[in-house]
Amino acid sequence: MAKHTASDSDEPKPKPSLKSLKRSLRLYKYIKPYRGAFVLGMVFLFLSSAANLAFPKFLGELVSASTQPDFLKQLGRIALLLAGLLVVQAVFSYFRILLFVRVAEKGLAALRQATYSKMLRLPMAFFDHKRVGELTSRIASDINVLQDVFTSTLAEFIRQLIIIVGGIGLLLYTSPRLTLIMLASLPPVVLLSVAFGRFIRRYAKDVSKMMAEATTVVEETLQGMASVKSYANEHFELGRYTSRTNEVAKTAIRGGVFRAGFASFVILGLFGAVVLVIWQGSLDIARGAMDAGDLFSFVLYSSFIGGSIGGMADVYARLQRASGATEELLDIFDQPEEPIRLEPPGARDRSLKGAVVFEEVRFAYPSRPEFEVIQGLDVAIEPGTRVALVGSSGAGKTTLMALLLRFYTPISGRIRIDGRDLNNWDLSGFRAQVALVPQEVLLFGGSILENIRYGKPGASEAEVVEAAKRAYAHDFIVAFPEGYETTVGERGIQLSGGQRQRIAIARALLNDPALLLLDEATSALDSESEYYVQSALEALMKDRTSLVIAHRLSTIRNADRILVLDHGQIVEDGAPDALLSRPESRFKALWERQLANE
């Protein structure tokens, strides 16, 4: 089951209201730059709808002309008018559709870009509670729902409104009495529409959420395909996806039951009113109070109006689905974001020296506020110092690095960089001068060249090659038939663990950071790979502040300083040899235990 957060369906959602409608209208700012084309499209929509309303009038005149002596002359004139009207309506409809599609596609492209940009600006705490498939669904499926609204549903809604309002006006002009009979069926339809909209809105949001969960299953399965196959769990994953998609289908079908019932009610009410109108109009013709052509036009207008109101059920349902998708998107847009600047790294400040000070820092993850991972930590690190972080799992080592990168904010205390509070640094400028080499290196699906260049977009090929040589990666790269243009595959699956690590180190070398964070970069490597990776790390750590997490204690013998952490506190601090010489040293105990297990 997908994990839910406070923003998910576990909490009651607000019912449709003017406030939620106003909230949804925020997305229309993305078509504002194209409002000229949109307004012109609306003009063509109005004109094509008006032309549509003219047909019953001319057809009624055609019926009336059949009783006139000059029937053939009148027939030719009306036929010519109808042909011209058809051509005009076709031209208006063409330009209306063309303009709306252009506005919608450009506006939705801007919305997709804005959504992706917003996601990039969100803090790590947000992604701790979200799954990849859910977010992918927001930027893909939900926006596709809005695409239908912008390109056709909105235009159809306005067109039907024009036909209903214009048609009722022409009905009143033709016969006020018959119009009152026709309109008698509208109040129950309107009341039912309001109630119906609440059901559709709820089901639309449920379908959107369930579809996001189904997409999440696919994302996770494809990303972990090696695990799926190694455990022979293809049937299990198919069952998970089948369960999710069946739930989507069941919920959508339940929503369809309401739509079908509403449509049936509209047909019964409105077309029953048409039958009543024809009966009353026939009596008026018999009494000489009404012309047959006027009745014919009246019935056609009534049918137009009835069809438009009946079609409103589907249009309203689509608008409600879009409203559900809109709320999910706006939930993302309403999230607080990091103060980052989306600009090329080369334009940022490179003045960081690398002095790091933690002052009485306390921290608990937002998902576990009752459990403090870091408890009143105090430490000062000089620029250019190699500091190793040692301790058991859960001691707070990786959390310290996350706090240094400002992925999270301490609940108390402060972190100072070069004497300045970390919160006062330009976040993008600061992170551009920090490099992280994690245990599980993420490589993007492009070439080796692109992956190394990720550390410094715009770097020359010569710079990339030099970084690869310093990372002991050049030799194995050029051994590939395509060299630096070799595609690494999804998440770097084509490369070994040691090769991925050296590419990550080359990426960091190209970045030339002032502050280096190594999170177990040599764990889970064979001896040969570890030798090359450790040699590359030595080159990377030279003359820069480095914080190193290492379970293999032999890899940190060259550290200037070792910090032993336990339950978020520093319990030992000193040079490796000094700590090993202490009889009761925790580091010494860890060292000896590891040697005994090798």
Residue 392's domain is classified under what CATH number?
Answer: 3.40.50.300
Q: Are 201 and 273 contained in the same domain?
A: yes
Say if 495 falls within a structural domain: no
Burial class (CB in 10 A: 0-12, 13-18, 19+), 146: buried
Mean pLDDT rounded to a whole number for the chain = 78
In residues, how long is the chain? 598
Q: Are 229 and 147 contained in the same domain?
A: yes
Report whether pLDDT(203) > 80: no
Weakest mean pLDDT among 225-229, 362-366, 400-404, 454-458: 225-229
Cα 447 to Cα 432: distance, rounded to the nearest angstrom: 22
Say if 490 falls within a structural domain: no
Q: Are 357 and 210 contained in the same domain?
A: no
Domain boundary among 333, 355, 384: 333
Q: Which residue has the higher pLDDT, 70 or 322?
A: 322
pLDDT value of residue 464: 92
The answer to whether 415 touches 403, Cβ cutoff 8 Å, is yes
Domain boundary among 275, 304, 333: 333
Say if 287 falls within a structural domain: yes
Report the percentage of the chain scoring pLDDT > 70: 79
Angle between helices 234-286 and 292-333 (to 10 degrees): 150
Q: Are 326 and 355 contained in the same domain?
A: no
Q: List Cα–Cα distances, 59 to 52, 77, 294, in angstroms.
A: 12, 12, 9
Q: Are 115 and 209 contained in the same domain?
A: yes
Say if 12 falls within a structural domain: no
Say if 328 falls within a structural domain: yes
Domain boundary among 310, 333, 356: 333
Residue at 39: amino acid letter = V
Cα 316 to Cα 263: distance, rounded to the nearest angstrom: 11
Question: What is the tens place of the pLDDT at every residue in 10-44?
Answer: 433 444 444 555 666 677 778 788 888 888 988 88
The answer to whether 473 touches 450, Cβ cutoff 8 Å, is no
Average pLDDT over residues 87-107: 86
Average pLDDT over residues 72-79: 72
Q: Are 366 and 317 contained in the same domain?
A: no
Helix then strand then coil, % of the chain, to nearest 5: 65, 10, 25
Question: What is the tens place of the pLDDT at every residue in 517-552?
Answer: 988 766 555 666 677 777 777 777 888 899 988 777
How, if at all, do strands 386-390 and 545-549 pair?
parallel
User: Among residues 31, 39, 40, which one has the least CA distance to residue 107?
Assistant: 31
Say if 510 falls within a structural domain: no
How many structural domains is the chain composed of?
2
At 269, the pLDDT band (50, 70, 90 cuts) reads: low
Q: Are 266 and 373 contained in the same domain?
A: no
Radius of gyration of the chain (CA): 35
Say if 193 falls within a structural domain: yes
Q: List Cα–Cα distances, 416 to 133, 378, 432, in angstroms.
A: 37, 11, 17
At 306, the pLDDT band (50, 70, 90 cuts) reads: low
Cα 514 to Cα 476: distance, rounded to the nearest angstrom: 28
**pTM over the 0.75 mark:** no
Most confident of 169-178, 183-192, 395-404, 580-589: 395-404
At 382, the pLDDT band (50, 70, 90 cuts) reads: very high
pLDDT value of residue 422: 92
Q: Are 249 and 284 contained in the same domain?
A: yes
Q: Token match 């009152």: residue?
A: 180
Residue at 295: amino acid letter = L
Average pLDDT over residues 320-336: 79
At 9, the pLDDT band (50, 70, 90 cuts) reads: very low
At 1, the pLDDT band (50, 70, 90 cuts) reads: very low
Q: Token match 């750590």: residue?
A: 541
The answer to whether 483 touches 489, Cβ cutoff 8 Å, is no
Cβ-based neighbours of 367, under 8 Å, separated by 6 or more: 128, 129
Average pLDDT over residues 68-86: 74
Give the CATH number, domain containing residue 168.
1.20.1560.10
Partner residues linked to 562 by β-bridges: 388, 574
Most confident of 125-139, 221-235, 236-250, 376-390: 376-390
Say if 271 falls within a structural domain: yes
Domain that holds residue 358: 347-433+547-598
Q: Are 164 and 263 contained in the same domain?
A: yes
Q: Are 243 and 382 contained in the same domain?
A: no
Q: Are 130 and 215 contained in the same domain?
A: yes
Cα 452 to Cα 460: distance, rounded to the nearest angstrom: 11
As a whole number of Å, the end-to-end CA separation of the chain is 41
The answer to whether 327 touches 273, Cβ cutoff 8 Å, is no
Q: Are 391 and 324 contained in the same domain?
A: no
Average pLDDT over residues 138-156: 73
Burial class (CB in 10 A: 0-12, 13-18, 19+), 477: buried
pLDDT value of residue 363: 93
